[in-house]
Amino acid sequence: MKLQDRVAIVTGGGTGIGRGISEAFAREGAKVAVNYSRSREASEETVAAIRSAGGTAIAIAADVSQDASARGMMERVSQEFGRLDILVNNAGWSTRIPHDRLEELTDEVWDRTLNTNLRGAFYCMRAAAPYLKKQPGSSIINVASIAGLTGQGSSIAYAASKGGLLTMTKSFARVLAPAVRVNAIAPGFVRTRFAGWPASAFDQGEAITPMKKLPTPEDLGALAVYLASDGAMSITGQTFEMDGGLAALGPPR
């Protein structure tokens, strides 16, 4: 197993992409702390699924947008499992606002978007760093978005938050090298409940990808496993796009 006996925290780990990563880590032998802020039931379901498959997991409540809450989560997980090897910053929030409706980007929308997607990731990385530095081969994986590269996505605020996360990935990769590797994954459309996209949006997005396929939570879990494993020991400061080739190649002609 690629992650045998390692300990991972996956923020927002009970639903969508987070669940895909949590379950993939557990299958590879990691002990997983499935973080949630509001989705308690879904997180407990994810933990139950991991345990029924023979894995080890706990659900842990923490609001990553609060520094004290992020610090408390790192301490609790370290006490529970005796170490911390992997942090996945997956927790995110967005609401769909067409980019030309500038007046709808209220202070409330900006604050919640940045506090969760950007400030929360910073708080978690800062809080986790002392624990991660103690473990050889430790890793941080930030789940960003293609929106952070293209400026598209559910809102301007969301795209800006994910662009900031990609920049912060490089900053932390420099700060924590060589003890901790820090990389980002930038998914395109993934069929989850995030931001309330209708099914038609996913169908249209899939149709214009060169691969004619959208990534799944399981696909993203497989990539996260690789980035957390010994096979990626020379990789840091990188962003891995996973969107069926659309951002890199454009739609088929």
Domains detected in the chain: 7-249 (3.40.50.720)
Structure tokens at 183: 């990389």
Select from 88, 92, 84, 45 the least CA-distant residue to 65. Answer: 92
Q: Supply φ then ψ for residue 36, to 5 degrees.
A: -150, 160
Select from 67, 57, 5 the least CA-distant residue to 34. Answer: 57
Q: What is the pLDDT of residue 205?
A: 83
Helical H segments across the chain, by residue range: 16-27, 40-52, 67-81, 107-114, 120-132, 147-150, 156-176, 199-207, 217-228, 246-249
Structure tokens at 1: 């197993």
The mean-pLDDT minimum among 10-24, 40-54, 61-75, 206-220 falls in 206-220
Q: What is the pLDDT of residue 195?
A: 58
234 pLDDT above the threshold of 80: yes
> Is residue 123 among the annotated active site residues?
no
Q: Which of 174-188, 204-218, 238-252 has the highest mean pLDDT?
A: 174-188
| Phi-psi group of 147: left, alpha or beta (phi > 0 → left; psi -120 to 50 → alpha; rest → beta) | alpha
Catalytic residue among 36, 123, 158, 226: 158
Distance in angstroms (rounded) separating the CA atoms of residues 252 and 245:
10
